[in-house]
A = this chain, B = another copy of it.
């Protein structure tokens, strides 16, 4: 959101409890392989039903990442 260059990736996380936890799962997994996460936007909220109950919430986010300046 400043004068950096950043790229956007799309990632989906899931949670048995809430939409917020599904978003956190996606972000948590993303930062194991990319650095400089800056912002996210929730683009899709879905879920799976098992025996009439919500088995998982799924949140798909766009994730903005500042690009490290190259050496």
Q: Give the interface of A toward B (CB within 8 A).
A: 1-14, 16, 18-20, 23-29, 31-33, 37-42, 44-49, 52, 54-58, 60, 62, 64, 67, 70
CB distance from A18 to the nearest CB of B (A): 6
The answer to whether B31 and A39 touch across the interface, beta carbons within 8 angstroms, is no
Copies in the complex: 12
A41 and B48 contact, Cβ closer than 8 Å, known pairs A8-B11, A9-B7, A11-B7: no
A40 and B29 contact, Cβ closer than 8 Å, known pairs A7-B12, A11-B6, A19-B19: no
Task: Give 10 A-B contacts (CB < 8 Å), ordered by A residue.
Answer: A3-B55, A5-B11, A7-B10, A11-B67, A23-B47, A24-B54, A27-B52, A32-B70, A37-B52, A41-B44
